[in-house]
């Protein structure tokens, strides 16, 4: 009897509040959105991991060691931007994997461990194919925030009076390159120019001969070139534009 009364009350409440069953498509849509966010988090986290691997393995410490303190150099070389992306999108992936249809069956530590392994594996593949190097370069060229962050980082290392110049190649001449350092000073650097191109980030070790001339002892790209890399069209276009801008300024 009590069960009958409860059933009647439930039916009455359904009629009164006009409660209708949730359509199946809403559950399916939720699953699609959750899985899409999980995959997005994993993909972006993997790409960021690839760039962290690239920066870590291709920062030529042989020429940086001894130029600044170890603590300062470690703080300068930490890829904060990419590590932040890993944390944010890693959290997105883990949260949404937990909220998939069967995600509740797996513990947080298991999902966390699986996500880390997947990010490292996929990131290693992106790095090996050269995608990480090209992506980092494009971010530097196209994203103002990332570009400025690199400039600030370079300003802490740049010290011409101590024989260190960090900057960007803005012109390639027949027997010299012109480098604009991260503090805005422009240096003419005598060197073989075959390996350099406008827009390329560079480290110089040597000594200034005057306010505009720098005699190099070592010239190194900011990051060593990987054995293989994928070059996207925007990158080559950027270098051509930088060269044209310099030629226009000098001809005026």
What domain range includes position 216? 157-251
Shared-domain flag, residues 185 and 93: no
Question: Over the chain, what is the mean pLDDT?
Answer: 78
Is residue 224 assigned to a domain? yes
Contact between residue 218 and residue 204 where contact means Cβ atoms under 8 Å apart? yes
Residue 73 has what pLDDT? 65
Q: Is residue 138 domain-resident?
A: no
CB 115 within 8 A of CB 97: yes
CA 127 – CA 130 distance, rounded (Å): 5
Q: Are residues 123 and 166 in the same domain?
A: no
Within-domain flag for 185: yes
Give start and end residues of each alpha helix (H) in the chain. 2-17, 24-58, 70-77, 80-98, 108-128, 131-142, 144-157, 233-251
Read out DSSP for 220-239? EESSPPPSS-PPPHHHHHHH
With beta carbons less than 8 A apart as the criterion, state whether 193 and 174 touch: yes
Decide if 73 contacts 125 (C-beta within 8 A): no
- Name the pairing type of β-strands 176-181 and 214-221: unpaired
Determine the pLDDT at residue 229. Answer: 53
What HEC string does 104-145 produce?
Answer: HHCCHHHHHHHHHHHHHHHHHHHHHCCHHHHHHHHHHHHCHH
Question: What pLDDT sits at residue 60?
Answer: 57
pLDDT in tens, 23-82: 677 767 888 888 888 889 889 999 999 999 888 887 655 555 555 566 666 666 678 888
Q: What is the CATH number of the domain that holds 236?
A: 2.40.50.140
Least confident of 158-167, 181-190, 218-227: 218-227
pTM of the model: 0.67
Q: Is 168 in contact with 200 (CB distance < 8 Å)?
A: yes
What's the structural domain count of the chain? 2
């Amino acid at each position: 009897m009590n069960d009958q009364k409860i059933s009647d009350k439930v039916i009455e409440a359904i009629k009164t509040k006009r409660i209708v069953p949730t359509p199946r498509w809403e559950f399916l849509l939720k699953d699609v959105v959750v899985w899409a966010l999980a995959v997005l988090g994993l993909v972006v986290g993997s790409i960021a991991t690839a760039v962290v691997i690239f920066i870590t393995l291709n920062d030529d410490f042989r020429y940086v060691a001894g130029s600044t303190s170890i603590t300062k150099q470690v703080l300068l070389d930490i890829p904060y931007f990419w590590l932040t992306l890993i944390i944010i999108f890693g959290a997105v992936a883990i949260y949404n994997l937990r909220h998939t249809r069967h995600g509740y069956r797996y513990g947080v530590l298991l999902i966390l461990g699986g996500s880390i392994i997947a990010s490292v594996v996929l990131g290693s593949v992106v790095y090996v194919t050269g995608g990480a190097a090209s992506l980092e370069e494009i971010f530097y060229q196209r994203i103002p925030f990332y570009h400025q962050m690199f400039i600030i980082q370079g300003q802490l290392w740049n010290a011409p009076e101590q024989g260190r110049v960090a900057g960007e190649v803005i012109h390639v001449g027949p027997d010299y390159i012109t480098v604009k350092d991260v503090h805005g000073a422009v240096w003419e650097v005598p060197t073989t120019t075959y390996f350099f191109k406008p827009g390329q980030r560079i480290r110089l070790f040597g000594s200034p001969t005057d306010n505009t001339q720098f005699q190099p002892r070592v010239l190194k790209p900011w990051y060593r070139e990987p054995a293989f890399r994928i070059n996207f069209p925007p990158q080559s276009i950027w270098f051509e534009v930088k060269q044209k801008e310099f030629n226009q300024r000098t001809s005026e």
